[in-house]
Amino acid sequence: MTTKKRVRFAVVHYRQLCNRGVVTRKDSKTSTSTQQTCYCTVLNSTSIAVGIVSVLAVCFATILNNLENSEPTTLPRMAADIETLQENYRQKNKTCFILGASGETGKPLFKEIVNSQIFSKITLIGCRLAFENEAHENVFQEVVDFEKLDDYAAAFQGRDVGYCCLGTTKAKSGEQGFIHVDHDYVLNSAKLAKAGGCSHFNLESSKGADITSSFLYLKVKVCKVEMFHMY
C-alpha cells in the first residue's frame, strides 16, 4: 500500500469513527488535521507490526511443514553406526571385569554388557557371589577379600576393560566405612587392574562431585575421579 493510499484509508476510517461517535471531530481545521495526522501515524505503525507478525507466522509455518515432511534418517543412521562399532569391537576379543555387579547400578550395567555381547569374557569381582542361581555364557565370578586385595591380584590379570560400581553409604557403614569402601577399595582395585593389563577403567562417580563441598559424599566422589590420572 502506497503512502497516498494509507493516508486516504486513514482519513476514510477516521470519518467512520467520527460518525459512530468513537472519535469526537472538532470543527477546527487545525485540530482535525492534527488528529488525522496522528491517526495516520498509529495506523502506519500498526501496519508495520502486523506485517512483521505475518512474516514470522509464515516462516514458522514453513519450518513446521519442513519438519513434518522430513524423513527421520538421523536415528536409524546412528543405530547402524553403533551396531557397526559394536561388531568391530567384538572382533577384537576383549575381556572385562565388573566390581559391584550386585548393586543398584551394577545390576543394570551387567545386564547391558551381557546383552550387548561385545566381550568374549566377563568377570564379576566381589566379596561374595553376585548371582548364585544364574548362569550366563562367558560370565565368571571371583570372590575376593577387599581387606587383603593384594592376595587376589590374579582376579585382575588379563582384563582389558574394567567397570567399577563399588559403593556404600554413610548411614550403612559409618563415615570411616564409607571412605574405606568408596575410596580405598576402589583405589586398590584400580592399581591391581592397571598392573594386570587393564587399559580402560570406567568408574561410577556422582553428579555434583566437588572437592570444596561440605558434603563428605561429594568430596569422596571427587577423590575417586582425580586418582585415575594413572589411566
For the ranges 21-25, 75-79, 197-201, 207-211, which has the lowest average pLDDT? 21-25
71 pLDDT more than 70: no
CA quadruple 141, 95, 206, 210: dihedral sign:
positive
The pLDDT-based confidence of 23 (bands split at 50, 70, 90) is very low
Q: Using the predicted structure, report yes or no on whether residue 56 has a pLDDT greater than 90.
A: no
What pLDDT shows up at residue 140? Answer: 93
Smallest CA-to-CA distance from 83 within 121, 120, 118 is with: 118
Banded pLDDT at 150 (limits 50, 70, 90): very high
Task: Provide the pLDDT for residue 129.
Answer: 85
Which of 16-20, 136-140, 219-223 is predicted most confidently? 136-140
For residues 73-102, average pLDDT: 86
Query: One of 39, 89, 152, 217 is an active-site residue; which one?
Result: 217
The pLDDT, as a whole number, for residue 226 is 57
pLDDT of residue 38: 40
217 is catalytic: yes
**Sequence ranges of the domains in the chain:** 3-69, 79-230
DSSP annotation string for 122-158:
EEEEESS-S-SS---TTEEEEE--GGGGGGGGGGGTT
Q: Catalytic pick from 14, 163, 185, 221?
A: 221
Residue 216, amino acid: L
Q: How many CA atoms lie within 13 A of 101 on its CB side?
A: 26
Please name the fold of domain 79-230.
Rossmann fold (3.40.50)
Q: For the chain, what percent of residues have pLDDT higher than 70?
A: 63
Q: What is the pLDDT of residues 191-228, one digit of tens each?
A: 999 999 999 999 888 888 777 888 888 888 776 555 55
Please give the single-letter amino acid code of residue 106: G
Closest CA relative to residue 96, chosen from 141, 161, 153: 161
Residue by residue, DSSP assigns 166-197 as ----HHHHHHHHHHIIIIIIHHHHHHHHHHTT
* Averaged confidence pLDDT in the chain: 75
Say if residue 73's pLDDT is above 80: no
Per-residue confidence (pLDDT) for residue 34, from 0 to 100: 42
- The rounded percent of the chain whose pLDDT value lies above 90 is 36
Q: Is the pLDDT of residue 7 over 80?
A: no
Report the range out of 70-74, 131-135, 167-171 with the highest average pLDDT.
Answer: 167-171
Contact 201, 185 (CB under 8 A): no
User: Quick one: cell of 40?
Assistant: 495516520
Lowest mean pLDDT among 107-121, 138-152, 199-213: 199-213
Is pTM beyond 0.75? Reply is no
Q: Is 89 a catalytic residue?
A: no
